[in-house]
Amino acid sequence: MALLINNTRARYGLAAISLHWLMALIIIGMYPLGLYIDSLGYYDAAYKTVPHWHKSIGVMLMMLLVVRVLWRMMTVQPKVLSHSVVQKRVVKIAHSSLYVLMAVALVSGYMISTADGRAIAVFNWFEIPALPAVLDEQEDVAGLIHFWATTTLIILAGAHALAALKHHFINKDKTLSRMLVSTGRA
Ligand code: HEM
Ligand code: HEM
């Protein structure tokens, strides 16, 4: 059995599978980390470290999202395994919405962090410069957008995961297994 790097019309390849699970795990971890930041007071010891990790990991996610979107544009997409036209449409809309929400969550996070003109030090390794603020009270407005975009993203991803489990255990089709392993006939 060959290891597939690229997608085919029947399966996801190793690149799409790795990017999907790496980003899903990080995003799910980032949500409670963000809520924890919100509960911290200025004088808590963790105030000096946890926001720094959240922002640094967030910048990594932004880079992964760019790679993922470019990769997706360069490779074919496997056919959706639902029979009805309506279900196929719903799946496509859900996947596009997940991409839009990821982008809004990441850009709003960047806009909170750089609202005061400060660059983001990524793991004290390199810096992402701040662009000039574009909104009045940018920190607060972007903070509100960030909370709602990330919350909607987590809820939609939860529904998406339940749909994948339904396909696996009730419809008994390959929807989940082809997102887990990349070997098989091309
Ligand atoms: C998809 C990835 C991300 C998720 C799931 C996420 C999640 C969250 C959540 C749930 C909060 C708490 C919001 C609140 O209670 O109001 C938060 C706060 C925050 N996030 Fe993110 N975040 C992500 C990416 C980013 C990125 C890329 C940055 C910056 C580069 C960032 C910067 C911040 C900052 C600075 C706060 C504190 C805001 C405040 O205290 O008002 N986040 N994040
Ligand atoms: C924050 C978490 C998640 C995000 C943002 C996310 C996002 C996506 C996106 C955008 C796709 C479309 C394919 C692509 O372009 O890569 C996809 C496909 C898929 N995801 Fe997720 N996902 C998440 C979590 C999960 C979880 C927890 C599961 C399973 C328990 C799951 C199972 C699947 C499956 C099976 C597919 C393939 C669907 C098909 O072929 O029609 N995902 N996901």
CA–CA separation, 152 vs 97, rounded Å? 10
Element (H, E) at 121: strand 120-122
pLDDT tens digit string along 1-28?
667 899 999 999 999 999 999 999 999 9
Please tell me if the CB atom of residue 90 comes closer than 6 angstroms to any atom of ligand 2. no
Which atom of ligand 2 has the smallest separation from the CA of 20?
A: 16
List the beta bridge partners of residue 122: 126
Q: Which of 137, 124, 15 is nearest to 72 (CA)?
A: 15
CA–CA separation, 177 vs 78, rounded Å? 13
Helix (H, G, I), strand (E, B) or coil at 124: coil
Mean pLDDT, range 124-141, rounded to an integer: 95
Ligand located closest to 114 CA? 1
pLDDT value of position 4: 86
Please tell me if the CB atom of residue 69 comes closer than 6 angstroms to any atom of ligand 2. no
pLDDT tens digit string along 147-180?
999 999 999 999 999 999 999 999 999 999 999 9
* Cα-to-centroid distance, 37 and ligand 2 (Å): 27
pLDDT value of position 47: 92
Residue 59 has φ and ψ, to the nearest 5°, of -65, -40
Predicted TM-score (pTM) of the model is: 0.96
Tokens of 68: 């993922």
Tokens of 20: 């999907």
Ligand located closest to 167 CA? 2
Helix (H, G, I), strand (E, B) or coil at 122: strand
What is the number of other CB atoms lying within 10 angstroms of the CB of residue 42? 6
* Cα-to-centroid distance, 62 and ligand 2 (Å): 17
Please tell me if the CB atom of residue 112 comes closer than 6 angstroms to any atom of ligand 1. yes
pLDDT tens digit string along 75-99?
999 999 887 999 999 999 999 999 9
CA–CA separation, 186 vs 172, rounded Å? 21
**74, 136 Cβ separation under 8 angstroms:** no
pLDDT tens digit string along 31-78?
999 999 999 998 999 998 999 999 999 999 999 999 999 999 999 999
Ligand located closest to 79 CA? 2
Please tell me if the CB atom of residue 175 comes closer than 6 angstroms to any atom of ligand 2. yes
CA–CA separation, 21 vs 152, rounded Å? 19
Element (H, E) at 126: strand 126-128
CA–CA separation, 182 vs 19, rounded Å? 13
pLDDT value of position 3: 78
DSSP string across 43-86? TSGGGGTHHHHHHHHHHHHHHHHHHHHHHHHHS--PPP--SSHH
